Structure 1
Amino acid sequence: MLTASLPFRILYRYIYVSEFKEVVDRFRPEILNSSKSSVLFLSSFEEQKQCNPFKVLGVSNGLILYCLSGSLIYYVCDPVTRQWVTLPRARYKSPNKTHPMFFGEGIVSKVNEDNVLTSYTVARVELLISSIPYLSFQTFSSETGKWIEYKLRCTNPIALMKRDAGPITFNGALHWFVYVHGMIAFDPYKDPKSCRFIRFPDDRQVENVNRHDWIYRLCDACQGKLRFFEVARDSCSFYCFSMWEKKDYERGEWCSAFKVTRSDLSSSDPELNSCLVKAAFFPLSFHPFNLDIVYLRCVDLACVVSYSIQDKRLDVVFRPIGVMNDLFWHLVIPFVIPRWPTPVPIPSVPKKAGRSKAAHRRRFRSHT
């Protein structure tokens, strides 16, 4: 069972390196064993110009799903052992000029009664530029070793968010954000041929969502709770921070957890305390163990701060070297460092003429 003593990191989604081995090599023992939280892998401008972009798509029970952007090559790795498997290529239709297509990918996994990971499923959905009355899913299961396609109809046409955010995981299901109104939930283990729509709280600041690509809000799971956290865009807004929690997941009910004004805020850091009246904040992540803590980017001081819900206090926790201009919630993802290695399940071998089982196993062997 995970405990608050386990270290965690807020991972920057994009890592610029020459090959995937360099991605897992960054999980060195001295980084994994550190007790401090930090934003890892904030790539420099030089790296971005010279290397390939590998993107963190999702995490599940100690595993991390990556993708080589552009080539759409997927990797599942265990950062503790620094072992990984490369998934087979999924079908990809070249987008046309009228309806450009993107992908939103995520990962969910299963554990047995001994809390040992037994399998994982990677799911991706086509993100068309226009609203559509259906969703096209593709899932890869380590149990079958194959990609399977689904086309699920929606009650009303929807448009999924195409910014860099991946789906969030809650209740064993993946949730993709829908512009303005809410998110679509899809559970590949429970019912892979259906999805459900979940609305966001009605009293949120909808104008912020429409005009600013959701950078002022954060929706994610924390200690079994689904939360929606919102930051006011203007310093003159009456409320600075607001949060809602899912009261009933099945019925779709939200309840307001708190609303605070800028005059309620304080900080033990003199520099931060002096600019609280006008400072701009962007939400980044919930603390994975502590329901009291939310992490935000402070634009004015170019640092990451923690916000204590109970004390209404802000503290500086991390000052990265270099720029932070693109550090938003949809470009970072919290990752808990497992206490024990999580062996990556080797995908099963699809029965296919002309390829021996041994040859297929060699393709998917773990690397170090």
Structure 2
Amino acid sequence: MSSHRTEHIVLGDALHLQFHQTQKQMKDNNQVNNDDDDRQNHVMSYSRKRNQSQVTSSQTVVGFVFFAHTFTYDLSNIPDSLLLEIISRLPLKSIFTFKCVCKHWQTLISQPSFSRFYFSRMLTASLPFRILYRYIYVSKFKEVVDRFRPEIYNSSKFSVLFLSSFEEQQQSDQFKVLGVSNGLILCCLLGPLIYYVCDPVTRQWVALPRARDKSPNTHPIFFGEGLVSKVNEDNVLTSYTVVRVELLISRVTYLSLETFSSETGKWVDYKLPCANPIALMKRGAGPITFNGALHWFVYDHGMVAFDPHKDPKSCRLIQFPDDRQVENENKHDGLYRLCDACQGKLRFFEVARDSCSFYCFSMWEMKDYEKGEWCSAFKVTRSDLSSSDPELNSWLVKAAFFPLSFHPFNLDIVYMRCVDLACVVSYSIQNKRLDVVSRPIGVVNDLTWRVVVPFVIPRWPTPVPIPPVPKKAGRSKAAHRRRFRSHTQY
């Protein structure tokens, strides 16, 4: 099939899809009168001829006014600006599919100006997101990427996405979701330890090289892996950095970590001094990201922060709010608290463990990050709570909750697991109301903030940066490039 003919077919599909989307939106907004039902039954058709397509409609579609008669148009006469206007109104998955139509379309869609234009149109749109289960039990990494396919994000509603079933949890091979950043997901394979960085939309992934041992006699254990990425002014992903910390048994006055940069393709180790002795929480989840820095939870002090892009390299301690439930936090390793960033704010959310506690939910916000100062946002009692769900409402007096995640775009919503009903609920800070948003299938006994991570689909996916391959004695650069590309899927 020639490229011109393909363009005609695909453009007809694009107009057809855009027409139905526009019509559905108008109906949803109550802009279509019942008296005009006959008039609204438009017909849109296109012929698979080489030089023309046919459209019949009386509806305005992306700048065209189609009267109630058939006319033809020549695709070669349509300016690129109008073609981009049409394509930019289509779903992201369709746009990336249309890049395969011909070289001209690929060039138009791939240019930075189009991504900026599309990005600007999406600034006010509500992006889909999911809370991912950190553990994935599969035999091959490709199966992990398959589970992140774009089709699973076809709903704007919140839901918990469980990537493993009870049967799969009996398998020996285990993948783990470690962190997310700007649409990238950091995963690892346990035994042997291999790190992967993937984009679930474009389905690209790279396997990171293994770090060399510091000495033949030492075998440090690393955990608490985190991912930080950068984008430029065109919203194009330029680089990413993976950081992991060393697990030490006793309290020490330093933070031992390793970093991998996609710009250098190398692992670099650091031993950074701390003002006070620290002990990292072994059961804590991966680090949280705020202000471009990674934060790991430590006993007694709160968090230790490290900015991989700041020179000279250093770390700092940040205290948690003083009036939190310190005893409860130490006894249960922070199981009943959630500290994370949301819409540019660093928050600390706490759930009372006992139903007899006067306050059940409390939250603080970071007032001054450089000084480490917190301010109280709210405290609520159980008598303040309500729910439209009859079953949940009957349990509010005594139900146990585990905090899971903040809503990525809505400062009013906090997601929690209701232990007694084995479901996920949303808590509205403003209305003090809880609603059931998801009833997970499978084992949920360990569902806490430690094993879930929120993932937001990027507005405009970009290629995963490929790290350079460092030269090694006895092997050519071309050989290393071939070895690296064997781990890269496009």
Structure 2 CA distance, aligned partners of 1:48 and 1:212?
25
The one-letter code of the counterpart of 1:290 is: N
Q: TM-score, normalised on structure 1?
A: 0.95
Higher-Rg member (1/2): 2
- Report the alpha carbon displacement of residue 192 of structure 1 after superposing the two structures with TM: 5.6
User: Is 1:87 equivalent to 2:208 in the alignment?
Assistant: yes
Asked whether the equivalents of residues 119 and 141 of structure 1 are also in contact (C-alpha less than 8 Å), the reply is yes
Out of 291, 311, 317, which is 1:191 matched to? 311
Query: Do the aligned residues in 2 keep the contact of 1:90 with 1:147 (CA within 8 Å)?
Result: yes
Question: How far 1:96 sits from its partner (Å)?
Answer: 10
Higher strand share: 1
Match of 2:162 in 1: 41
| Deviation for aligned residue 1:154 | 1.4
Query: Identity over the aligned pairs, expressed in percent?
Result: 86
1:25 and 1:192, CA in 2 relative to 1: closer, same or farther beyond 3 A? farther
Q: How does 1:263-274 map to 2 (within 5 A)?
A: 263-274=383-394
1:295 alignment partner in structure 2: 415
**Counterpart for residue 261 of structure 1:** 381
Cα distance in 1, alignment partners of residues 376 and 423 from structure 2? 28
Task: Say whether the 8 Å CA contact 1:100–1:129 is kept in structure 2.
Answer: no
CA displacement at 1:70 relative to structure 2 = 3.4
- Aligned pairs (5 A) from 1:46-61: 46-61=167-182
Aligned to 1:237: 357
Question: Partner of 1:88: helix, strand, or coil?
Answer: coil
Stretches of structure 2 lacking an aligned partner (at least 5 in a row): 1-118
Read off the aligned partner of 2:297 and give its amino acid letter: F
Gaps of 5+ in 1: none
Is the contact made by 1:180 and 1:209 (CA closer than 8 Å) also made in structure 2? no
2-structure distance, mates of 1:302, 1:256: 30
- Deviation per CA, 1:290-346: give whole Å up to 9, x if none: 000000000011000000000000000000112210001111000101132231100
Alpha-carbon distance in 2 for matches of 1:13, 1:181: 26
Matched pairs, number: 367
Contact 1:284-1:328 at 8 Å conserved across structures: yes
Amino acid at match of 2:339: C
In 2, Cα distance between equivalents of 1:31 and 1:295: 20
CA distance in 2, matches of 1:68, 1:176: 22
Would you tell me which structure has more helix in proportion to its own residues? 2
Report whether the alignment pairs 1:75 with 2:196. Answer: yes
TM-score, scaled to structure 2: 0.72
* Offset of residue 91 of structure 1: 3.2
1:219 to 1:187, Cα distance in 2 relative to 1, 3 A: same
Distance 1:95 1:68, change over 3 A: farther
Is the 8 Å Cα contact of residues 158 and 178 (structure 1) preserved in structure 2?
yes
Instruction: Give me the whole-angstrom Cα distance separating, in 2, the residues matched to 1:95 and 1:215.
Output: 38
Q: Residue 342 of structure 1 corresponds to which residue in structure 2?
A: 462
CA contact (8 A) 1:145 1:350 kept: yes
SS at structure 2 position matched to 1:21: helix
Distance 1:283 1:95 in 2: 42
CA RMSD of aligned residues (A): 2.0
Equivalent residue, structure 2, for 1:150:
270
User: Where in structure 2 are the equivalents of 1:304-323 lying within 5 Å?
Assistant: 304-323=424-443
Distance in 2 between the 1:18 and 1:93 partners?
30
Equivalent in the alignment of 1:367: 489
Please tell me the residue identity of whatever aligns with 1:74: Y
Does residue 210 (structure 1) correspond to residue 358 (structure 2)? The answer is no
CA contact (8 A) 2:284 2:297 kept: no
Kept in 2, the 8 Å contact 1:102–1:162? The answer is no
> Hey, what's the Cα distance between the residues in 1 that align with 2:394 and 2:425?
15
* C-alpha spacing 1:100/1:121, structure 2 compared with 1 (3 Å): closer
Q: Once structures 1 and 2 are overlaid, which stretch shifts more, 32-41 or 78-87?
A: 32-41
Alignment-mate amino acid for residue 489 of structure 2: H
Shift of 1:100: 8.0
Structure 1 95/165 Cα, relative in aligned 2: closer, same or farther at 3 Å? Answer: farther
Separation in structure 2 between the aligned mates of residue 13 and residue 194 of structure 1, nearest angstrom = 29
Q: Deviations over 1:249-269 (max 9, x none)?
A: 011100000000000000000
